[in-house]
Amino acid sequence: LSDDAGQFNIGRHALCWVHAERLVHKLDTFNDQHRAAQTRVRGLIWDFYADLKAYQQKPGKRQARALRTRFDRIFLCRTGFVTLDRLLARLHANKAELLMVLERPEIPLHTNGSENDIRGHVTRRKISAGTRSETGRDCRDAFLSLAKTCDKLGIAIWDYLGSRFKVVGAAIIAPLDFYVRARLRPT
């Protein structure tokens, strides 16, 4: 799942609905007719997004067919606002990636979670202006990833490190893959 940046277009790829709608939202309008068309299309997209979220909770083949048809109606419509019409056609060309959720209901519809995961890295890079070596970059990336994983699992990073380094009196914590696998097992 990505915002369609080329470096992420690998394997079976899904696109973020928030980034897709943002393109419509940021479109410059020049008159009342353009603004009305933009507002109407944004409303259709957000209603469709809500129905995709509902589909995730209770997927079905009939609903998937209906959502695919509705996607075409939204993104193939002509609004009379040429720039918006071109954008909708461009988004329609990404139909398979935007509707990946119909095949894989467990995937998120947006990248907010993964973007939040990297936010600590970006903040640190802005403050310290990066690292001085490849080794430094690798260490920073590894520890930020470790800290984020521990946080998601509800484990204090210092407790985990204390356990790994066998600090006297530290809590005994299993390797993180144990906890990740436990979460992936069906209940």
Alpha carbons 77 and 139: distance in angstroms, whole number: 50
Is residue 153 within 8 A of residue 179, CB to CB? The reply is yes
Q: Indicate the pTM of the whole model.
A: 0.62
> At 2, phi and psi to the nearest 5?
-150, 180
Segment 172-186, tens digit of pLDDT: 999 998 988 888 776
Please list the residues that pair with 2 across neighbouring strands: 15
Q: How confident is the model at residue 119 (pLDDT cuts 50, 70, 90)?
A: low
Tell me which residue of 79, 127, 109, 92 sits closest to 16, measured CA to CA: 109
In 10 A of CB 48, how many CB atoms? 19
Measure the N-to-C terminal CA separation of the chain; round to a whole number of Å: 26
More confident residue, 132 or 79: 79
Cross-strand partners of 15: 2
**Residue-wise DSSP of 46-87:** HHHHHHHHHHHHS--HHHHHHHHHHHHHHHT---S-HHHHHH
pLDDT at 115 over 60: no
pLDDT of res. 14 = 73
8 Å CB contact between 29 and 38: yes
Cβ neighbours of residue 157 closer than 8 Å, sequence gap 6 or more: 146, 147, 150, 151
Residue linked to tokens 């990740």: 180
